[in-house]
Amino acid sequence: MLTGCRIAFLGGDARQIEVIRHCSELDASITLYGYENLKNEFTGAVKKNITQNAFQDIDAVVLPVTGIQDDGTVDSCFTNKQIVISEEHFTFASKDILVFSGIASIHLKNYCAKTRGKLIELMKLDEVAILNSIPTAEGAILMAIQNTDFTIHSSNCFVLGLGRVGMTLARTLSALGANVYLGARKPEDLARAKEMGMNAFHIAEMPNNIQKADIVFNTIPAPILDASSLVKLPSHALIIDLASKPGGTDFRYAEKRGIKSILAPSLPGIVAPKTAGKIIANSLARLIIEHKSGLGVNSSEIIR
């Protein structure tokens, strides 16, 4: 239970509703900043305007998946007002404060470093990222279906990267009857792809393989689909780039070649906000409860 635990939510999208609901059910005392337009009411939750001392007497701050932007703004779907967080807000926070963010900018890391607060980047936790890969894969396949005039079944689907998203996506495409080509750099990943019945190739060999592709799904957050590969890609092929911004595709060159390429961020929040919110809620509540009960947050879970 989160009885007696004071949690401040700052901004967010539809996913955050599930997180607030879960914390409310666990009896937390909740303050919502940037939620004026939200119709839902939650037991134990009050809506307020942000003030300089908003983090005073707070055990955990929950930021949106996108965290704090470089100019200090915090995105919220539930207000027309701008929420801006500065270093000063963190000077009121206790050194034990937990700060949850999907991803963390350098700014946020610096703020937390100064307060000695514990910053947890939820999207970096395996338990979140692995489950989050399910709506990501479903969203990517939805986009592929919407942007092609052929079936995924029997088509040549290239998946670049065999991390948490790549693994789920490759397996799902395979189950749909696609011919999956998996590009990775680690020998063990290439071995795993073969074991999964896929065509495995070293990522450095992409220019020699990509001419077979109908759809390319990139999960590698590095400039991997460069001109040397794109020049070999058939013009009917579709690229869905899932990697964090700016993606791994030379979009300018792809467009020049007439290849449709789409950067597709935040798919879980778009295609399955309820599921994505529950995934975040479960891990966040577990971490707060463990921290509260003195178990501490594992060092692998603390970014600093």
* Chain residues that interact with ligand NAP, rule: CB under 6 A: 129, 132, 136, 161-166, 184-186, 203, 219-222, 242-244, 264-268
Instruction: Show contacts of 188-192: CB within 8 Å, 24+ apart.
Output: 189/162, 192/162
Q: Which is nearer to ligand NAP, 132 or 261 (CB)?
A: 132
Distances (CA, A) of 71 to 89, 93, 98, 152: 14, 20, 22, 42
Least separation, in Å, of the C-beta of 68 and ligand NAP? 17
Q: Which is nearer to ligand NAP, 17 or 242 (CB)?
A: 242
Q: Which is nearer to ligand NAP, 34 or 161 (CB)?
A: 161
Residue nearest to ligand NAP (CB): 163
Cα 293 off chain centre by: 28
Q: Which is nearer to ligand NAP, 210 or 242 (CB)?
A: 242
Q: Which residue has the tokens 């479903």?
A: 138
Q: Which is nearer to ligand NAP, 7 or 140 (CB)?
A: 140
Across the strands, what pairs with 134?
none
For residue 85, give the DSSP letter. Answer: -
> What's the rounded Cα separation, in Å, for the pair 80 and 266?
21
Structure tokens at 233: 């890609």
Alpha helices in the chain (DSSP H): 14-25, 87-91, 106-115, 126-146, 164-175, 187-195, 227-230, 251-256, 267-271, 273-292
> What's the rounded Cα separation, in Å, for the pair 137 and 271?
10
Q: Which is nearer to ligand NAP, 50 or 243 (CB)?
A: 243
Structure tokens at 58: 């707070």
Least separation, in Å, of the C-beta of 197 and ligand NAP? 18
